A = this chain, B = another copy of it.
Amino acid sequence: MELGQAIWRDVNRINKQNPLIHNITNYVVMNNTANALLALGASPVMAHAIEEITEMIASADALVLNIGTLDNQWISSMYGALNAAEADNTPVIFDPVGAGATKLRTQTTIHLINKCYPNIICGNGSEIKAIAGAGNKTRGVDSLDSSGDAIEAAEIIAERYNTVVVISGEYDYVIDSDNKIKLKNGHEMMGVITGMGCTATAISAAFAGVNDSYFDAAVHGVSFLGIAGEIAAEYSAGPGSLQVNILDEIYNLNEKQIEEKVKFEKI
């Protein structure tokens, strides 16, 4: 099956099954993440109280952990969520926002992913390199760095944690121990919207809720958002309207657009 067709098949599954995506994510992106998931046909839930985590995750089809506005209370919730997800075999998608920027973020990331290997880890180049131990300094949390080293770092992580790694940036990469793909959709103005990487993570979780191959789920999710952004950028005057129009495109994208636009290269 061609990639475009496979993405479209999963979009239809999402619309039919409305996978419930549990998000423990950062304050900055909560509204947009929820709206992106709804526009795609998934059901978002945002909940962090340790008292309800297990029960919430029992209904969830995937769990998103995003450490963008971390503190100790939320770290406890994330541990609780990982325990519950592990017990239920719920797919876990992890976004290490700002790993490398502070010890708290780097160490929390390492502890959490050692506790329970996530099925997909989505970060920018600096974050992925920080996890691999390259120890470089992340600049801000919307960094677009994804140079060569990041791919090597992703390979190390994929192997070490038996996981799928997404590197977001000008081009996006999806890497596991067997496969490597470069995804060429998207538009540079997407980097001027806060939390686009977080949206990619959440959308990949929705695809993981309907597709057992986490590699495929990540490829489909990231490509889908890239195509939505690319089309929306054609008629958006700036990043404000682009953020809005991407939601419209997530809602409206059709099979033909996806098949015509999808652009990738196996590497």
Contacts and interface: CB of A to CB of B under 8 A. Distances in A.
Given A45-B98, A245-B240, A137 B59 contact: yes
**Which has the most chain B C-beta neighbours within 10 Å: A31, A140, A250?**
A140
B26 A28 contact: no
Interface in A13-42: 18, 20, 26-32, 34-35, 38-39
A99 to B, nearest CB: 11
B28 A28 contact: no
Contact of A56 (B20, B101, B238): B101
A14 to B, nearest CB: 13
B244 A248 contact: no
Contacts of A43: 139-140, 142-143
**Which has the most chain B C-beta neighbours within 10 Å: A27, A59, A143, A238?**
A238
A239 interface: yes
Interface string A43-81: 111111101100110010000000011111100000000
Interface residues of A, number: 63
B71 A35 contact: no
A140 B206 CA distance: 14
Interface string A170-213: 00000000000000000000001111000000000000000000
A103 interface: yes
A248 B252 contact: no
A20 B237 contact: no
Interface string A240-256: 11011111111110000
Given A34-B142, A237-B245, A240-B247, 10 more contacts: A27-B27, A35-B243, A38-B239, A45-B140, A47-B69, A49-B104, A52-B102, A55-B103, A240-B248, A244-B244
30 contacts: A20-B140, A27-B27, A27-B30, A28-B30, A28-B31, A31-B31, A31-B32, A35-B239, A35-B240, A38-B239, A44-B141, A45-B140, A46-B68, A48-B71, A51-B102, A51-B104, A52-B70, A52-B102, A55-B102, A55-B103, A55-B104, A56-B101, A59-B139, A236-B248, A239-B247, A239-B248, A239-B251, A240-B244, A240-B247, A240-B248
